[in-house]
């Protein structure tokens, strides 16, 4: 009997010890969860602080709550970009002369780039990545598989005379002259239609993209970095042919809500008349590599923009660049 009660006592002790352990471990699990979500939160904050990149945030396709994070992201973008003021644009002195030159070059560029797909060099190390041979062509295509040559800078950059969503000087105000002129016309056309647009982000230098991308790599490793940040050389903003636009209705953010605003609708219906396309259309992320960006306008020339618009295809599809 004594043995039995001893055994019973032992069992009780073991039981208590075990349940004690379990509750301890579940506590530490909770603690772990807490830490995890704190980390996640920090990661998100890091993203918001570091990337100003609508393209960057694109790659978070999986996260459907991206609207608000994009909002925050772009809100922080101007602060963040101003860090880079020392990179101010090489050549601000381009004026009418260079505008004309560039417009005249447009046809030549287009002709030249017809040969592009045949002339590309495959990079040895990155099997899937092609360096484009015509980085200054008006119809150049960069995406996740096609990059600009290392260190590429557009031939001329100038600030379009349009309203921006921020006041400070910043190189992201700039575009190539041919695109800047077209953007001014687009804004004027919108204005006539009673539509108030604001420009948010145009040119982004290779160096700036390197800095942004590297800080992502440092904080979360390369694999994760690639999900939230464009690899340098792959951002369309580096061509000087892209401008993100927004409106007061969406709080001047870059958000997919822009699509359903008067301004977003006007842009979708009319941008091609001024030579711009919505570069990353809805439901085409498999092809473009980026999810829907109703705010990202890419200058590609009136003729091509109109054809692409009417075809309902992406640039990749229209130019036969889909593998």
Residues of this chain that bind Zn ion (CB under 5 A): 54, 244, 296
Of 80 and 244, the one with the shorter C-beta distance to Zn ion is: 244
Of 54 and 139, the one with the shorter C-beta distance to Zn ion is: 54
Q: Which of 293, 310, 316, 323 is catalytic?
A: 293
Smallest gap, in angstroms, from Cβ of residue 31 to Zn ion? 40
SS3 158: strand
Whether 236 is catalytic is no
Cα 70 to Cα 254: distance, rounded to the nearest angstrom: 6
Closest CA to 298 of 210, 236, 229: 236
Q: Which residues does 187 contact at the CB level (< 8 Å), separation at least 6? A: 160, 162, 163, 197, 199
C-beta separation of 165 from 244 below 8 A: no
Residue 194, Ramachandran bin (φ over 0: left; ψ between -120 and 50: alpha; else beta): left
Smallest gap, in angstroms, from Cβ of residue 98 to Zn ion? 24
Of 146 and 296, the one with the shorter C-beta distance to Zn ion is: 296
Smallest gap, in angstroms, from Cβ of residue 200 to Zn ion? 8
- The tokens for 109 are 């560029």
The conformation of residue 161, written as its DSSP 8-state character, comes to S
Of 98 and 299, the one with the shorter C-beta distance to Zn ion is: 299
C-beta separation of 143 from 289 below 8 A: yes
Of 98 and 176, the one with the shorter C-beta distance to Zn ion is: 176
Mapping DSSP onto H, E and C, the string for 99-152 reads: HHHHHHHHHHHHHHHHCHHHHCEECCCCCCCEECCCCCCCCCCCECCEECCCCC
Smallest gap, in angstroms, from Cβ of residue 237 to Zn ion? 6
Smallest gap, in angstroms, from Cβ of residue 244 to Zn ion? 4
Catalytic residue ranges: 293
């Amino acid at each position: 009997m004594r043995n039995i009660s001893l055994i019973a006592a032992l069992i009780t002790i073991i039981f208590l010890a075990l349940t004690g352990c379990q509750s301890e471990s579940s506590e530490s699990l909770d603690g772990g969860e807490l830490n995890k979500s704190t980390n996640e939160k920090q990661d998100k904050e890091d993203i918001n602080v570091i990337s100003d990149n609508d393209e960057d945030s694109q790659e978070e396709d999986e996260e459907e709550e991206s609207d608000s994070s994009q909002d925050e992201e772009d809100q922080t973008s101007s602060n963040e970009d101003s860090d880079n003021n020392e990179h101010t644009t090489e050549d601000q002195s381009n004026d009418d002369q260079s505008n004309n030159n560039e417009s005249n070059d447009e046809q030549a560029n287009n002709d030249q780039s017809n040969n592009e797909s045949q002339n590309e060099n495959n990079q040895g190390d990155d099997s899937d990545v092609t360096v484009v041979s015509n980085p200054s062509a008006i119809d150049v295509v960069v995406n996740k598989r096609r990059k600009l040559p290392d260190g590429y800078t557009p031939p001329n950059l100038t600030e379009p005379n349009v309203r921006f969503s921020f006041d400070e000087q910043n190189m992201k105000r700039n575009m190539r002259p041919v695109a800047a002129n077209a953007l001014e016309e687009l804004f004027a056309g919108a204005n006539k239609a009673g539509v108030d647009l604001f420009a948010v982000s145009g040119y982004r230098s290779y160096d700036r993209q390197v800095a942004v991308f590297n800080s992502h790599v440092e904080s979360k490793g390369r694999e994760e970095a690639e999900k939230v940040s464009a690899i340098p050389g792959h951002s369309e903003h580096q061509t000087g042919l892209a401008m993100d636009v927004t409106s007061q209705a969406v709080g001047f953010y870059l958000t997919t809500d822009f699509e359903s605003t008067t301004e977003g609708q006007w842009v979708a219906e009319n941008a091609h008349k001024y030579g711009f396309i919505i570069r990353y259309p809805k439901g085409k992320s498999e092809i473009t590599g980026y999810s829907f960006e109703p705010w990202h306008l890419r200058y590609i020339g009136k003729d091509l923009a109109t054809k692409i618009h009417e075809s309902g295809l992406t640039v990749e599809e229209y130019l036969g660049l889909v593998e």
